[in-house]
């Protein structure tokens, strides 16, 4: 990782990442994230399957109960705590999508890479830092000791250029992944909302029909 990079990279074995697929609230590993007591999620780790189950459960209950305030969205707020956002709140963040102020992170990953960052993908003025948890395969550039004082050789310039390119590609790779995740979540939220509104619409039509019937019977 480059010395000036605002993100902190935690490397774990690819096998571990693939096998467990978890986001761990490890204070040592994550630097300054709050402990799990600040999270609405009681466990230390969020497993993919747990998240999916919670998502499904909350999504269906949101629709069944006609509750637009219930929702299965995960966020990390400015204090760093992890929580499930209400659907309505999440929806509101989508209205300013893609630049909403709430931090979000990738829950699903096929290559064991999880990104925790704000939506700009950089440190925020308030001291928020972007976190990355990635596998060794992601390849992090090394910081060369350039204190020799002599002019860099063409070879060194070449190395520097290719290192910069690698870093740029890596950042873009992660950005693309995050962008797709956000887009999917956005679409899912819209679909959720459509379902809720359709249900509401149906109920209102039935209510109107009942009131009309009542009115007709009274006037007869």
Q: CB 155 → DNA: shortest distance, Å?
A: 21
Which CB atom, from 57 or from 176, has the smaller least distance to DNA? 176
Query: Binding of DNA at residue 217 (CB under 7 A)?
Result: no
Instruction: Compute CA distances 27 → 24, 31, 211, 220, whole Å.
Output: 9, 6, 59, 73
- Residue 204 CB contacts under 8 Å (≥ 6 apart), including other chains: none
Query: Binding of DNA at residue 27 (CB under 7 A)?
Result: no
Query: Binding of DNA at residue 38 (CB under 7 A)?
Result: no
Q: Which of 163, 182, 188, 199 binds DNA (CB under 7 A)?
A: 182
Backbone angles phi, psi at 155, to 5 degrees: -60, -45
Query: Binding of DNA at residue 163 (CB under 7 A)?
Result: no
Q: Which of 180, 202, 209, 212 binds DNA (CB under 7 A)?
A: 180
Query: Binding of DNA at residue 157 (CB under 7 A)?
Result: no
Which CB atom, from 99 or from 217, has the smaller least distance to DNA? 99
Rounded to an integer, what distance in angstroms lies between the CA atom of residue 155 and that of residue 1? 21
Annotate each residue in 78-97 with x if it binds DNA (CB under 7 A) or - if it does not, as one string: -------------------x
Query: Binding of DNA at residue 53 (CB under 7 A)?
Result: no
Residues in binding contact with DNA, number by CB under 7 A? 26
**Token pair 């992890």 in the structure block, residue:** 82
**Which of 128, 138, 12 has the alpha carbon at shortest distance from 75?**
128
Q: CB 193 → DNA: shortest distance, Å?
A: 19
Q: Which of residues 94-153 bind DNA (CB under 7 A)?
A: 97-99, 109-111, 119-122, 125
Q: CB 141 → DNA: shortest distance, Å?
A: 12
Query: Binding of DNA at residue 172 (CB under 7 A)?
Result: yes
Rounded to an integer, what distance in angstroms lies between the CA atom of residue 78 and that of residue 93? 14
Which CB atom, from 70 or from 115, has the smaller least distance to DNA? 115
What the block records as the tokens of 159 is 């190395």
List contacts with DNA (CB under 7 A).
97-99, 109-111, 119-122, 125, 168-173, 175-180, 182-184
């Amino acid at each position: 990782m480059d010395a000036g990079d605002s993100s902190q990279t935690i490397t774990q074995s690819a096998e571990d990442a693939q096998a467990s697929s978890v986001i761990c609230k490890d204070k040592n590993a994550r630097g300054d994230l709050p402990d799990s007591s600040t999270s609405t999620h009681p466990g230390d780790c969020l497993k993919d399957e747990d998240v999916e189950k919670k998502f499904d459960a909350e999504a269906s209950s949101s629709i069944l109960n006609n509750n637009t305030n219930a929702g299965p969205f995960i966020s990390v707020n400015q204090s760093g705590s992890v929580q499930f956002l209400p659907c309505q709140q999440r929806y509101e963040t989508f209205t300013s999508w893609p630049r909403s102020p709430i931090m979000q992170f990738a829950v699903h990953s096929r290559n064991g890479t999880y990104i925790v960052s704000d939506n700009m993908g950089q440190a925020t003025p308030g001291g928020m830092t972007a976190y990355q948890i990635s596998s060794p395969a992601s390849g992090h550039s090394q910081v060369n000791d350039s204190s020799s004082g002599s002019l860099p050789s063409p070879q060194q310039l070449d190395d520097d250029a290719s290192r910069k390119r690698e870093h740029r590609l890596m950042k873009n790779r992660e950005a693309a992944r995050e962008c797709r995740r956000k887009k999917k979540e956005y679409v899912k939220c819209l679909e959720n909302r459509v379902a809720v509104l359709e249900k509401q619409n149906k109920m209102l039509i039935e209510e109107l029909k009942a009131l009309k019937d009542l009115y007709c019977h009274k006037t007869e």
